[in-house]
Amino acid sequence: MAAAALHQNPEISVQKGVLELMDKHGDMMLFVGHAKFLVCSRTLFRASSVVEKAHHDHMASQLEAGQSPAVLAQQAGRLRLARPGVTPAAVRAILTIIHGSPMDLVPKFENRKLLHDILIVTDHYKMTECLAPVAVKWIRKVYNKDAVRYDDIAAQLWICHKLGHLRCLKQTLAKMIVGGRLNRAGQLVGYGATDDQPYAEMQTITTLGIIAAARTALVEQLLQLFEQAYARLEASPKTATISNLHEFVCKADKNQAKCDLVMLGALVKAIKAENWEVLDISASPRQLHRRMMKISMDALDRADVSGVHRGCEPLGSEVKSLEDLAQWAVDQIPLDESDFRRRSTALGFDSN
């Protein structure tokens, strides 16, 4: 495979032994795993002072060790990046950007895993701001507002955090909280994971303990809304005695008390049918919410109402809005929003 083809598409796997010309007039050979790139050292060092210092420290150690001028000259033109998580494909994409061809990467870039790996490299070497020419376009291509799996969510949180995109990070945290359950050790486990695959600690964003606490707050809020809806029906004036739940059919403009009485009876039966007393508070808020909605729909079916209005929704409209409740839970998590604004501005995001 020609080096030119590799240069054009960052998602093509790097072939062992192929020299990729990032700068045909380059003065340094960069090695990453089995890949090698010809690069401009000045361009690379401008992008990352960490890489520059590492190379200078290496040369100083070689000089101190008494290496010959020939060896020193050879070492000056060679550099290896070997930190954990640094992959050839990610480095190639970064080199393409800093060597002046960022738009070569945009049309075909749809790989969230690659963007995750790129951000590991830029985080290691303190060079995330070099992604400014492509950051806005890339996050639009790879961000998934419907992510639910634990591995997708973990990768997306890293991406949103490192790019400083606060709005997308909050939306992803909401998905994490809604789908999160607790294992027997009290650890937060995401959808699709087994009990021995809890989320890894993410201190750079916040702590898992704080996220787990937000999830618990959401569970408590759901239960409170459920209890409030039931209490509202119980508190409604009892103006009639109904032996048959189908005796009254609400037409939206009829007696509210009669409607409440019908719904209370139907809700009691629906709660019993769902076995609501057997409640697992370690389950995910999404699972808990689904049980509530099942009870609500069952109650509506049992009451056989028509012309539905608020009184005919036994759990009230608040319980239905799990997305809004999840955002409320995210707002309980302290985040350094000024830091997000600083980083997002540097990368070209208009607002968060």
Which CATH number does the domain housing residue 51 bear? 3.30.710.10
What total number of domains does the chain contain? Answer: 2
Do 136 and 225 have their domain in common? no
> In this predicted model, what pLDDT tens digit does every residue of 60-86 receive, in sequence order?
888 888 878 888 888 888 899 988 889
Three-class SS of residue 309?
A: coil
Are residues 131 and 242 located together in one domain of the fold?
Answer: no
E strands, 139-241, in order: 181-182, 188-189
Residue 162 counted as domain residue:
no
- Check whether residue 18 and residue 126 sit in a common domain: yes
The encoded tokens of residue 226 equal: 């459920």
Burial 135-155 (b: 16+ CB within 10 A, else e): bbbbbeebbeeebeebebbbb
Structural domain that includes position 279: 218-329
**Helices and strands: H and E segment counts in the chain:** 15, 6
Q: What pLDDT sits at residue 7?
A: 42
Is residue 310 one of the residues assigned to a domain? yes
Asked whether residue 300 is assigned to any structural domain, the reply reads: yes
Going by C-alpha positions, the residue among 311, 224, 316, 320 that lies closest to residue 263 is: 311
Is residue 335 one of the residues assigned to a domain? no
Q: Which pLDDT score, from 0 to 100, does residue 255 have?
A: 58
Query: Hey, CA dihedral for 308, 314, 316, 320, is it positive or negative?
Result: negative
The segments of the chain whose pLDDT lies below 50 read 1-12, 244-249, 251-253, 308, 310
In a domain, 165, yes or no: no
Bridge partners of 29, per DSSP, are 38, 78
**Residue 83 buriedness (CB in 10 A; 0-12 / 13-18 / 19+):** exposed
Helix (H) or strand (E) segment spanning residue 31: strand 28-32
pLDDT reported for residue 40: 94
* Boundary (domain end) residue, out of 142, 166, 193: 142
Same domain, 235 and 325: yes
Task: Return the SS3 of 79.
Answer: strand
Last residue of a domain, one of 122, 142, 162: 142
Q: Cβ neighbours of residue 76 under 8 Å, at least 6 residues apart?
A: 59
- Amino acid residing at 147: A
Distances (CA, A) of 42 to 78, 82, 126: 13, 20, 16
Same domain, 17 and 112: yes
Strands (E), the chain: 19-21, 28-32, 35-39, 78-80, 181-182, 188-189
- Whether 132 and 222 map to the same domain: the answer is no
Q: Does the residue 312 lie in any domain?
A: yes
pLDDT at 107: 62
Boundary-marking domain end, from 142, 176, 201: 142
> Do the domain assignments include residue 166?
no
Q: Is residue 69 part of a domain?
A: yes
First to last CA, the chain: 41
